[in-house]
Chain A
Amino acid sequence: MDTESTYSGYSYYSSHSKKSHRQGERNRERHKSPRNKDGRGSEKSVTIQAPTGEPLLANDSTRTEEVQDDNWGETTTAITGTSEHSISQEDIARISKDMEDSVRLDCRHYLGLTVASVLGLLVFLTPIAFILLPPILWRDELEPCGTICEGLFISVAFKLLILLIGTWALFFRKQRADVPRVFVFRALLLVLIFFFVVSYWLFYGVRILDSRDRNYQGIVQYAVSLVDALLFIHYLAIVLLELRQLQPMFTLQVVRSTDGESRFYSLGHLSIQRAALVVLENYYKDFTIYNPNLLTASKFRAAKHMAGLKVYNVDGPSNNATGQSRAMIAAAARRRDSSHNELYYEEAEHLVVAVEEAFIHIQRLQAEEQQKAPGEVMDPREAAQAIFPSMARALQKYLRTTRQQHYHSMESILQHLAFCITNSMTPKAFLERYLSAGPTLQYDKERWLSTQWRLVSDEAVTNGLRDGIVFVLKCLDFSLVVNVKKIPFIVLSEEFIDPKSHKFVLRLQSETSV
């Protein structure tokens, strides 16, 4: 299969995207070598992996439980777990690639986390050290601490507590994605804090420790000034990391390459990789699920319809071959559309009728149960299993017609049915999920087909967004093309209309002499 050459290239990309230093410097040289083999010039491509949430070793076991029996519509009276699974070549490559990449990216993620926590601990303990070292080292020479000094102790304690809570809220959040490059602002802030604390220690070491300063109040005030400055750096972090991107500046148009479905999202000043993350998070809830069968089905049906048509030339002999073929294609398309629509609506109607009957049956069952034993409530799972056979056939026919049958396993349908019965939903509410294709999040995780993405862009992904940038998010089956457009500068002016100019008051009769 020709997919093998593509997959082997993935491990190159992930290994070269490992970052070890904090300045966010771009390594163009290292990326050029594998790319030059493809003949494309300075195109950069890095890997973004969305977290899968389930442990990787369990991947195999979940696949074996998958019921691939397509005839469950006719054989639902005895529910046995027949598992004939077949993993294709693509799946094997995908599983092995997932395992490789996640190991490497985890190392990088833990490295970053360790550095940040070490720095945080150092920063937190520094003011305490500043205050505690003089009494420990030269207690006899130190001036006694007065009231003001003790007041400063309290203020240091509370400011450190506030700093701790603020840092925990801002920095220690569960990482939601693995990104190719270090976030520039975060790295800059860590460097700033590091140099700041180092300079304070230098000053302390030289002027206070060496010369054994006796003015303890001055030392405590020095520690307080450090904590104040740290709080201001925390404020800077909030502004740079959170507030700056809130105001929308750009609109991103995201188009799926296979069927052209597009959406628009508004963003503020973000780097390209963060914008890509936002796009992907919204992709899972906004775009309808990617259904490869729908694309191939239309071509197949068109060929079938075209075979039944013949073209007769009424205007006499002519060599207009293109005109003939165009006429054939148009007629085939029309015939295909009309027949497809008829079939579709017929199936949908049958399905709706079957499901409504099943739900009425449920209500009857519930009423009977209540008469027999008023305290007992029927288990929704049992109720679902009881009525499922009556509508299974119609549902399966419908799913086959709309080519969704591999997205809904029998187990998922039963679960959804039990869910609807528990929450007293109408048959229409139950069917809505099957009548119209929903977003990717609605289906089981195994059906998603795409959790690993590659960001392809010809600019560094830590650059900010700009008008006219185009980048592509590729997964195995399709790609999302993202076009960045700037929100235009709006000129808004006011126009004042005197309310008296279009109003008048109806007065009683008045005379004026002129």
Chain B
Amino acid sequence: MSYIPGQPVTAVVQRVEIHKLRQGENLILGFSIGGGIDQDPSQNPFSEDKTDKVNGWDMTMVTHDQARKRLTKRSEEVVRLLVTRQSLQKAVQQSMLS
């Protein structure tokens, strides 16, 4: 998804709801996260899925640490994510054409 810094971006998002698993004392989600505004974006491991919101909290301007904290809150068992990826945009465009 190309964008010009400083200009607003529109994205197609997908809602994902995840119930946390219980492993011992911790509630885990089962995947790894990478990135954050304090990280070097050219070295992102998974460049496909970008998270926009977690349980209503905005994820577009958070550091790695803050994102981790929001995802691993002990009080929440369910995590609702708004995820976007490039293939979604293409799929929507194709469905609109046909």
Contact = CB atoms under 8 A, between A and B. Distances in A.
Interface in A64-104: none
A62 interface: no
B43 interface: yes
A511 B34 contact: yes
Interface string A497-514: 000000011111111111
A512 B39 contact: no
B38 A509 contact: no
A511 to B, nearest CB: 5
Nearest to B64: A510
Interface in B1-45: 28-29, 31-35, 38-40, 43-45
Contact of B40 (A504, A508, A511, A514): A508
A428 B3 CA distance: 61
A509 B43 CA distance: 6
Given A513-B32, A514-B28, A514-B29, A508 B72 contact: no
A181 B50 CA distance: 86
17 contacts: A505-B38, A507-B40, A508-B43, A509-B34, A509-B39, A509-B40, A509-B43, A509-B44, A510-B34, A510-B64, A512-B33, A512-B34, A512-B68, A513-B28, A514-B29, A514-B31, A514-B68
B39 A513 contact: no
B71 interface: yes
Interface of A: 504-514
Contacts of A514: 28-29, 31-33, 68, 71-72
A506 B38 contact: yes
A512 B45 CA distance: 11
A505 B45 CA distance: 20
Contacts of B63: 504
Interface in B38-84: 38-40, 43-45, 63-64, 68, 71-72
A505 B31 CA distance: 25
A514 to B, nearest CB: 5
A514 B45 CA distance: 15
Determine the main DSSP class of A at the interface with B. loop
Contacts of A509: 34-35, 39-40, 43-45
A100 B35 CA distance: 94
B40 A506 contact: yes
A510 B32 contact: no
Given A506-B40, A507-B38, A507-B39, A513 B31 contact: yes
Given A507-B38, A512-B32, 15 more contacts: A505-B38, A506-B38, A506-B40, A508-B43, A509-B34, A509-B40, A509-B45, A510-B34, A510-B39, A511-B32, A511-B34, A513-B32, A513-B33, A514-B28, A514-B68
B90 to A, nearest CB: 26
A385 B20 CA distance: 102
B64 to A, nearest CB: 6
Contacts of A510: 34, 39, 64
Nearest to A505: B38
B18 to A, nearest CB: 10
A150 B93 CA distance: 112
A131 B45 CA distance: 97
Contact of B38 (A504, A511, A512, A513): A504
Contacts of B32: 511-514
Contacts of B31: 513-514
A510 B65 CA distance: 10
Nearest to A509: B43
B68 A511 contact: no
Contacts of A511: 32-34, 45
A119 to B, nearest CB: 78
A134 to B, nearest CB: 88
Contacts of B40: 506-509
Contacts of A505: 38
A512 B29 contact: no
A53 B33 CA distance: 88
A293 to B, nearest CB: 65
A508 B33 contact: no
A514 B33 CA distance: 7
Contacts of B29: 514
A506 B72 CA distance: 22
A510 B63 CA distance: 11
Contacts of A507: 38-40, 64
A511 B65 CA distance: 10
A511 B40 CA distance: 12
A177 to B, nearest CB: 69
A264 to B, nearest CB: 49
A509 B35 CA distance: 7
